[in-house]
Structure 1
Amino acid sequence: MLGTTFILAIRSIRRHLLRSFLTVLGIVIGVAAVVAMVTLGKATTLQVQKSIASLGTNVLQIRPGQGFGRGGGGPRPPDFDPRDVDAIGKQITGVTAVAPQAQSTGTAIYEGANWSTTVNGTTNGYFEVQPWPLSSGRYFTPAEESAGKAVCIIGSTVYTNLYKTKDALGTRMRIAGISCDVIGVLTTKGQSGFGGDQDDVVIMPIKAVQRRMTGNTDVRLILVGVDQAYSTAQVQASITDLLRERRHITGGKEDDFNIFDTKQISDTLSSTTTLLTNIVTAVAGISLVVGGIGIMNIMLVSVTERTREIGIRLAIGAVANEVLMQFLVEAVVLSCLGGLIGLLLGQVAVILLSVLGQLPFIFDVQINVIAFLISGAIGVVFGFFPARRAASLNPIDALRHE
């Protein structure tokens, strides 16, 4: 019975192929949009989490000021002192490594090639806090760090623009007027979650940068690695108390520094991306409702066109439930075909947008199955009323219909 009904539904759809396609166009667009938006949203969230993870897991970033900028119109808060870095490493429980940073900019020059880049002065603790493997070479020695020797480790962007395919190890390049020996080349990290090129950097011992570039011992950023066994919130509270004491902040005065937990940043960005994805998906889902209304409309037209056929079936012994099933199956087949086409177009859109947006490609089985089931459910919901109307026709009135 059901098989015969299905065959009749396919024949009816093939009889009016163009009309059938236009009928399910809303379903096709709705399913494709929902699948593409949800999949790309998950890919974007994954990319954000990956970018934040490149900053290190269980890492606290400490900066002077009350935000990323100065905040307000008051005087700029003082930078950190190297003794603050030592105090955090020695007095705070749960800290695995501490990395001070002093930054400058300059033009790197090697054999006629030049490249403007960022110079990051730090210690080997930097590579412990946020592991960054070397593609070749070595890290700083304790003697190079303590003496502030002019040695450097370069990012892959700097290497590509200065050396092309040459071996950089053992060469001497100039950066901001200082000659330094290249002792290592970092592996490629790519863009950060904020759009910057993480590989466009030259890393030197912090004392070398302070002595020869910045002209002071100020520390603009402190990275703190936290042991997995400890709560980052607890360590953050301990660091806050220590720095308030060292910076003589008493009573109800606000902190003149801020501490960011990379995990909190990742969670915030991920939740924001998820929220935007849900909003866009909800808007795209409206197309499914519009598609359902289109199916109801065309099925009502079909019932009117086939009234005499329905009357003949009822007159020769067909029961009302069989007529209802015929039109309901036809509506479900229409919507399911639209769902399948929508899934195909959705995957094509995901592939193209992933390539254009440089996002990881994800095939989300769950959203594809859900979208297809929803398209079938729309056929049932919006096809029931026309099917019920066909089943309730009086056979005599239907036979008289012209």
Structure 2
Amino acid sequence: MSPLENVREAFRSIRANLLRTVLTALILSIGLFALVGILTSIDAMKNALSETFASLGANSFELHAKGYTNRFQRGGVKGKQYPPIDYLQAKLYKKAMGDDAQVGVSAFISGAAEMKANGIKTNPNMQVIAGDENYLKIQGYNLSEGRIFSQTELNSGANVMVVGDEIKQKLFPKQSPVGQYVSALGRRFLIVGLLEKSGSGMGGGGADRLALLPLETGNQMPRQRALTFDIKTATDKPGTLAYLMGQATGKMRAVRHDRLGQEDSFTVESSESLAADLDSISGKVKAGGSVMAFITLLGASIALMNIMLVSVTERTREIGIRKALGATALQIRQQFLIEAIVICLLGGTLGIVLGVLGGNGVAKLIGSESFYVPWGWMMLGLLICVGVGLSSGYYPASKAAALDPIDSLRYE
């Protein structure tokens, strides 16, 4: 028999035992759905995050106090905690960098603020940030209306604000918010600018829920604890980021009074280091998901082997007739192996398609805007299908090929 005839015979056998074959194929589909779905969703989210890092500027890095967040750990144990970067240190660092780079200083004021205007309130999930004159440019935010803060407003700590699109849609749906007043955090602010609509931003509000204040204004507001200032440094000169990071480290050590021989009391994070952390985390998630999917695929291969053994027993007389008509042991083995592979490919193809759709669906829920097609994982899934078919069908095929034609013809 030619390979094409073997494939036709495989479909004939599948139609003869349709329910049993469908159930086995579904087991394989579930395994590949889990495997491809997990890998696709992780890669889709990585792509979306990579685009986010790129939009924040490839030639930029951030400075944070070491140990003040959970990012700095050694072997799972949190390292020494250093004091946060305060307002004076941030200003001294910015002055020390001078014209070598653009330095943006900001402070997180609130992530659950409520805005009020004209008797209307927003949801209590608006983010209030205090930033300097470079904040918008370094973060990649653009204005659709109005202006940024003037130098006088920045120096005096004026009650002015730049708001995101969601705040505008909620409080001023039919008019421009520029020139209007809004109440937040116990103060009344004049809106001087409106940010362009940015979208979900991987599950967050992006710039749409942002309310930006002058840095001095945020520093003067009453609070229960000291503000933590974030510093982002950017350069327009490609290829100089590594040199600039070294220069910034030296100047921040001087500002923080780190003694000679003492480790840095801060961390320097670029988009490349964040991407490396993401790769490490996603690799662990992939490994865990792959183990679970492998267990499912192992169960599918055992079920398929059982079906093929039953098929060999049921078709013993048919095998005897084929051998009596001149079929060789190799041809019989090929027939059953191809049948097992066809079953795996049918179930595997369904699982791969569902995995791609499901993985992109998960990424979409988290905020990814693009549809990712993992050609590499799809090819791997098809190879797994063939491998499962060969491993599950080889023993039943060998058993069928070894049957004695005389005994087979006598089998009832």
TM-score, normalised with respect to structure 1:
0.85
Judge conservation of contact 1:100–1:219 (CA < 8 Å) in 2: no
Q: In the aligned structure 2, how far is the partner of 1:72 from the partner of 1:331?
A: 55
Between the two proteins, the alignment pairs up a number of residues equal to 398
Q: Give the equivalent residue in structure 2 for 1:267.
A: 276
SS of match in other structure, 1:60? strand
SS of match in other structure, 1:271? helix
> How much does 1:34 deviate?
1.7
**Aligned runs of 1:11-26 on 2, under 5 Å?**
11-26=12-27
Q: Give the equivalent residue in structure 2 for 1:37.
A: 38
CA deviations over 1:308-362 (Å, ceiling 9, x no partner) = 2212221232222222222222222222222223234334533543454444432
Judge conservation of contact 1:57–1:130 (CA < 8 Å) in 2: no
Q: Give the equivalent residue in structure 2 for 1:7.
A: 8
> How much does 1:197 deviate?
5.6
Q: In the aligned structure 2, how far is the partner of 1:49 from the partner of 1:344?
A: 25
CA deviations over 1:236-281 (Å, ceiling 9, x no partner) = 2222221222333323334443333233123212331233123302
Judge conservation of contact 1:64–1:80 (CA < 8 Å) in 2: no
Identity %: 30
Correspondence for 2:398 among 377, 388, 393: 388
Q: Which amino acid aligns with 1:381?
A: S
Moved over 6 A (4+): 69-75
Correspondence for 2:116 among 81, 96, 109: 109
Judge conservation of contact 1:54–1:189 (CA < 8 Å) in 2: no
Q: Give the equivalent residue in structure 1 for 2:326.
A: 317
Structure 1 stretch displaced more, 48-57 or 26-35:
48-57
**Aligned runs of 1:336-375 on 2, under 5 Å?**
336-350=345-359, 352-360=361-369, 361-375=371-385
Q: Give the equivalent residue in structure 2 for 1:378.
A: 388
Judge conservation of contact 2:86–2:229 (CA < 8 Å) in 1: yes
SS of match in other structure, 1:124? coil
Judge conservation of contact 1:114–1:162 (CA < 8 Å) in 2: yes
Correspondence for 1:327 among 336, 354, 360: 336
Q: Give the equivalent residue in structure 1 for 2:75.
A: none
> How much does 1:130 deviate?
1.8
Judge conservation of contact 1:145–1:207 (CA < 8 Å) in 2: yes
SS of match in other structure, 1:238? helix
CA deviations over 1:210-251 (Å, ceiling 9, x no partner) = 356679x98722221134524434322222221222333323
**Aligned runs of 1:64-103 on 2, under 5 Å?**
64=65, 66-68=67-69, 76=83, 79-81=86-88, 82-90=91-99, 93=100, 95=101, 97-103=102-108
Q: In the aligned structure 1, how far is the partner of 2:107 from the partner of 2:37?
A: 43
CA deviations over 1:177-198 (Å, ceiling 9, x no partner) = 5443322111234556695765
Q: In the aligned structure 1, how far is the partner of 2:306 from the partner of 2:264?
A: 65
Q: Give the equivalent residue in structure 2 for 1:183.
A: 192
Judge conservation of contact 1:58–1:263 (CA < 8 Å) in 2: no
Judge conservation of contact 2:36–2:352 (CA < 8 Å) in 1: yes
Give structure 1 stretches of 5+ with no counterpart. none
Compute the RMSD of aligned alpha carbons: 3.3
Q: Give the equivalent residue in structure 2 for 1:153.
A: 162
Judge conservation of contact 1:156–1:187 (CA < 8 Å) in 2: yes
Q: 1:348 to 1:55 in 2, by over 3 A?
A: closer
CA deviations over 1:60-94 (Å, ceiling 9, x no partner) = 2223454327988988456142233211234xx4x
Q: 1:48 to 1:317 in 2, by over 3 A?
A: same
Q: 1:305 to 1:181 in 2, by over 3 A?
A: same
Judge conservation of contact 2:85–2:230 (CA < 8 Å) in 1: no
Judge conservation of contact 1:34–1:281 (CA < 8 Å) in 2: yes
Do structure 1's residue 167 and structure 2's residue 176 form an aligned pair? yes
**Aligned runs of 1:208-357 on 2, under 5 Å?**
208-211=217-220, 220-350=229-359, 352-357=361-366
Q: In the aligned structure 1, how far is the partner of 2:114 from the partner of 2:297?
A: 56
CA deviations over 1:96-141 (Å, ceiling 9, x no partner) = x111224434654322234554443322211222210123222233
Q: In the aligned structure 1, how far is the partner of 2:344 from the partner of 2:85?
A: 65
Q: In the aligned structure 1, how far is the partner of 2:65 from the partner of 2:341?
A: 62
Q: In the aligned structure 2, how far is the partner of 1:264 from the partner of 1:282?
A: 28
SS of match in other structure, 2:267? strand
Q: Which amino acid aligns with 1:157?
A: E
**Aligned runs of 1:122-137 on 2, under 5 Å?**
122-137=131-146
Q: In the aligned structure 2, how far is the partner of 1:6 from the partner of 1:260?
A: 57
Q: 1:76 to 1:355 in 2, by over 3 A?
A: closer
Q: In the aligned structure 2, how far is the partner of 1:229 from the partner of 1:56?
A: 11
SS of match in other structure, 2:231? strand
CA deviations over 1:133-190 (Å, ceiling 9, x no partner) = 1232222334443454443211223323322343101223344454433221112345
Q: Which amino acid aligns with 2:408?
A: A
SS of match in other structure, 1:24? helix
TM-score, normalised with respect to structure 2:
0.84
Structure 1 stretch displaced more, 365-374 or 328-337:
365-374
Q: In the aligned structure 2, how far is the partner of 1:205 from the partner of 1:165?
A: 27
SS of match in other structure, 2:62? strand
Structure 1 stretch displaced more, 108-117 or 1-10:
108-117
> How much does 1:282 deviate?
3.3
